[in-house]
Every structure is written in C-alpha cells, then in structure tokens.
C-alpha cells in the first residue's frame, strides 16, 4: 500500500476514533460516527470540485493537496505535460512535413478510403489545377477526369504507376502513383514527365526514320550481292566473301525490321484488340514449320498442344513474339537437341505458352536484364548466330499489350523455359 493511501486511512481512522470517544462521553454514538463519515466524504467532494475547477481554468500548476489527492493532482499534471509536449512534437512534425512536401516538385495529395482529397501541396495545384480551399473533400476522380485514372482506382492494383495527360494542358504528360498507408489512406504522387516522354518520342522517331532510310540502300546491296552470287563472272575464291556479305546483309535487314517493329510497339501504349480471335494451335504449327525450314532441320521441334483454346489477340504481334521465342531456343541450343513448344491450359482459366530447350542456359544474374534492348549474355555467340539483340524486347512489349508477362526459368548447361501466361479475359474456349 502506498504512503498516500496510508495517510487517507489514518485520517479516516482518526475521525472514527474521535467519534467513538465523543459518543462514549456524550452518548449518541451513531450520530458522531455519521458526522465523521460526512466530514471525510465532504473532503473528497471538495477535492473533486477543486480538480474540476483546475481543469476548467487550464492553469499549469495543480492545486496544493496532501494524501491521495495530492498524488492525483501531481500525476494528472505530469500527464497533461506529456500530452502537451506530444502535441507540440506532432505539430512540429506536421509542419515540417508540409514544408517539405510544399517544396517538392512533384504533386502530392492525401486521400481517404473513398479517395476524397484531405490535403494537397502547391505542386499539385499547379500540375492538375486544384484549388486547396475549394477542392478539399472532393473525390479525386471528379477533379482529375481521366478514364484511365478512374479505372486505375477501381482495379485497386497500385503496384504500377500510370501515365495520363494533364487535365489542364493536353501537351503535358503526368505519371501518377498511388501509395497506400495508414488506416485506409492513400498518398497520390503526381510527376511531370513531359520532358522524358518527348525525349522518348525523339528516340523512337530517330530509330524509325533511320531504319526507313537504311532499308533502301540495304535492298540495293542485297540485290547486287544476289546477282554476283548467281553469276559466274567472278572466280570461286569470291564465293565465301560474297556469302559472308549476304549473311551480314540479311542480319542488317533483320535488325532494321526488329527496330521498326519495336518502335511501333513502344509508340502504341494501348492494349491489343480483343476483337480478333487467333487460332493458336494453327499459328504454332506454322511458326514451327517456318523455324524448321530456317534452321535447316538441325534441331527437332516437338509441339505439345494440350489446350484447344484460342486467344483474343493481334495475330501479327502474337506471331512475332512466339516465333522470336522459338527462334531463340533454336539459336542457343546445340545441334541435335530438342526444342519443345507447349500450349496448355492454366489452373485458373488462363492459357500458357511455353518454349523449353536443352541449350546453354542463362545465369540468374542475367535473367532480369535479357529483355532489355541489345542486352547480350554472350555477345560473340549472338553475333555468330545472327541475333539482333531485340527479340526478347519485342516479346516483352507484345506480352505487355496482351496483359501477360514473360517468365524465365533456366539452369546453365541444362536449358531454359520461357513461359507466357495469358489472362482469362484473352482466352476463348473452343467446343
């Protein structure tokens, strides 16, 4: 028992002992006991009145008291001081947060669970035309009117950012990223990427224009080389140089074709059409037949079709992606090995396309990078086999337009598996 409670009990005991003595001397013991308890209770009521007045007056120093009430006053005073310091610290943190976000070049909006705007910085008012006092409490989609942004919020997948045109200036491009935090709250970050988009457009235009300009002289060179190869004016010592020049000319033509296709895919950021239905089984047979002819039957290609479904897709793009994967498997596999092409149903209604080879394999450190343009695991091998370094980049963009991704599993020296999982929305079940 604490010393404060001991004092209170001693006070109550003294009052009761005094009332017993007075009752024994004067009689009427019950009245004296009642008076003693009334005095003790009156003291507690008086202390509670003092506590209430102190709280209402908001004075810093507590009233003077002893016993348990002195302890209550002191502890409550310490609690109020801690709360006051916490409020000051929290206010300082909030002030620093607002000052730092106000200085950011990126727009920042704080949204609640219903995507209503709770706060925004000055950059947000500049980028999307918000007015802080007027627009607080409004739903973000009412102020940033864009179908892609509305679909982004409805889908709830905030792992990736989206790009939209500014609602106040169509010539500017904004990147929006929603970050969940706290108790069903969100932080919407808006970044102006107009300069990056323009630089990317300049790069694409340069690649497309340069490819078009190079195509004509390459066609002329290929024609003359074919004429020299078919004629007998030159001696047999020219057969090998001309064959090498023809191979390099074909390689440059393939490179230009891949550059043009990649430029087209990067320019068109929309999803592939859902209207055209592609018979994947027939497409795979055609791809494998062409690949065997180009490979001169140095490998065995096995087709395993365990799924009769078709795809809602762009046939040309799908042909490009699948043929690139089959060609790569042949290119990086030793002669005499088998390449297996699989078309099967996924466990959750999806459709899966796989290419399995018995080639040289890929180390794990290279797998995240091999879909980049011109990235080569082995430059000498790629040039020797005629690769352009753009095939997997084309595959990545085609699959992205079809809502799929490229999954790669590989063991060096044993082979690789390239897998494409197409979403349920793209799958068409056939009888």
Using DSSP's 3-state secondary structure scheme, residue 335 falls into coil
Q: Is it the case that residue 278 has pLDDT exceeding 80?
A: yes
- Is the pLDDT higher at 159 or at 195? 195
Confidence (pLDDT) at 6? 67
Instruction: Specify the range with the lowest mean pLDDT, choosing from 25-39, 51-65, 336-350.
Output: 51-65
- In this predicted structure, what is the pLDDT of residue 383? 53
Mean pLDDT of 332-354: 88
- % residues pLDDT > 70 (the chain): 89
- Among 308, 246, 302, smallest CA distance to 277 is for 308
Q: Which of 64, 62, 22, 19 is nearest to 37 (CA)?
A: 19
Give the mean pLDDT of the chain: 81
Q: Which residue is listed with tokens 């490229």? A: 406
Largest CA distance in the chain: 151
As a whole number, mean pLDDT of residues 232-247 equals 78
pLDDT for res 211: 77
Give the model's pLDDT for residue 271: 74
Beta-carbon neighbour count of residue 132 at 10 Å?
A: 13
pLDDT surpassing 70 at residue 263: yes
Q: Is 173 left (phi over 0), alpha (psi -120 to 50) or beta?
A: beta
Any idea what the Cα angle at residue 148 is, between residues 144 and 154, rounded to 5°?
90
CA dist 40 and 19 (Å) reads: 12
18 CB-near residues (< 8 Å, 6+ apart): 32, 36
The top-scoring range by mean pLDDT among 6-10, 39-43, 87-91, 269-273 is 87-91
Per the rule left: phi > 0, alpha: psi between -120 and 50, beta: everything else, 425 is alpha
Q: What is the DSSP letter of 390?
A: -
Q: What digits encode the pLDDT tens for the residues 292-308?
A: 888 888 888 898 888 87
Measure the CA–CA gap between 46 and 51, rounded to whole angstroms. 9
Work out the average pLDDT over 145-160: 85
Which of the residue ranges 102-106, 331-335, 362-366 would you say has the lowest mean pLDDT?
102-106
Residue 418, pLDDT score: 92
Question: Strand 338-345 relative to strand 406-411: parallel, antiparallel, unpaired?
Answer: unpaired
Confidence of residue 1 (pLDDT cuts 50, 70, 90): low
pTM attached to this predicted model: 0.57
Give the SS3 label for residue 253. helix
Q: Between β-strands 300-305 and 338-345, what pairing exists: parallel, antiparallel or unpaired? A: parallel
* pLDDT for res 354: 92
pLDDT for 2 equals 63
d(CA 256, CA 262) in angstroms, rounded, equals 10
- For the residues 57-73, what does the mean pLDDT come to? 68
pLDDT over 60 at 41, yes or no: yes
* Contact (Cβ atoms closer than 8 angstroms) between residue 80 and residue 59: no
pLDDT (mean) for 108-130: 86
Predicted local confidence at residue 387, as pLDDT: 63
Indicate if the pLDDT at residue 117 is higher than 80.
Answer: yes
Compare 97 and 139 and report the one with higher pLDDT: 139
Position 176 scores a pLDDT of 92
Q: Which residues pair with 352 in a beta bridge?
A: 344, 421
Count CB neighbours of 69 within 10 A. Answer: 22
pLDDT, one tens digit per residue, over 161-220 is 888 888 888 888 999 999 988 888 898 999 999 998 888 888 778 877 887 788 888 888
> Which tokens in the block code for residue 171?
């010539």
User: What residues form DSSP beta bridges with 407?
Assistant: 419
């Amino acid at each position: 028992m604490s010393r404060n409670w001991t004092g209170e009990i001693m006070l109550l005991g003294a009052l009761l002992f005094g009332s017993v003595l007075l009752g024994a001397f004067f009689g009427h013991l019950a009245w004296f006991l009642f008076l003693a308890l009334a005095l003790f209770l009156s003291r507690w009521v008086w202390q509670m009145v003092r506590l209430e007045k102190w709280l209402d007056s908001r004075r810093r120093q507590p009233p003077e008291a002893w016993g348990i009430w002195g302890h209550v006053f002191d502890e409550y005073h310490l609690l109020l001081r801690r709360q006051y310091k916490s409020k000051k610290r929290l206010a300082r943190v909030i002030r620093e947060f607002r000052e730092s976000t106000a200085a950011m070049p990126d727009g920042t909006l704080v949204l609640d669970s219903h995507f209503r705007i709770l706060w925004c910085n000055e950059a947000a008012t500049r980028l999307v035309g918000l007015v802080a006092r007027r627009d607080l409490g409004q739903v973000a989609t009412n102020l940033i009117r864009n179908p892609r942004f509305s679909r982004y919020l409805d889908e709830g997948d905030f792992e990736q950012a989206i790009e939209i045109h500014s609602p106040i200036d169509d010539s500017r491009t904004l990147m929006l990223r929603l970050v969940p935090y706290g108790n069903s709250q969100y932080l919407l970050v808006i970044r102006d990427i107009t300069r990056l988009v323009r630089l990317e457009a300049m790069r694409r235009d340069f690649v497309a224009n340069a490819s078009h300009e190079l195509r004509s002289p390459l066609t002329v060179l290929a024609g003359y080389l074919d004429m020299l190869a078919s004629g007998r004016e030159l001696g047999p010592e020219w057969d090998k140089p001309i064959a090498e020049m023809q191979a390099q000319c074909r390689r440059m033509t393939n490179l230009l074709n891949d550059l043009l296709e990649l430029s087209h895919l990067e320019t068109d950021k929309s999803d592939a059409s859902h209207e055209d239905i592609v018979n994947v089984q027939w497409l795979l047979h055609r791809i494998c037949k062409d690949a065997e002819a180009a490979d001169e039957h140095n490998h065995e290609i096995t087709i395993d079709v365990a799924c009769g479904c078709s795809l809602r897709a762009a046939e040309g793009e799908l042909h490009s992606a699948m043929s690139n994967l089959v060609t790569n498997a042949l290119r990086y596999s030793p002669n005499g090995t088998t390449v297996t092409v699989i078309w099967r149903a996924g466990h959750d209604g999806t459709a899966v396309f796989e290419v399995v080879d018995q080639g040289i394999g890929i180390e794990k450190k290279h797998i995240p990078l091999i879909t980049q343009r011109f990235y080569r695991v082995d430059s000498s091998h790629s040039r020797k086999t005629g690769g352009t370094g753009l095939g997997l980049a084309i595959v990545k963009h085609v699959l992205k337009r079809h809502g799929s991704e490229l999954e790669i599993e590989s063991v060096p020296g044993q082979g690789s598996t390239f897998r494409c999982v197409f979403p349920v929305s793209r799958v068409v079940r056939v009888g």
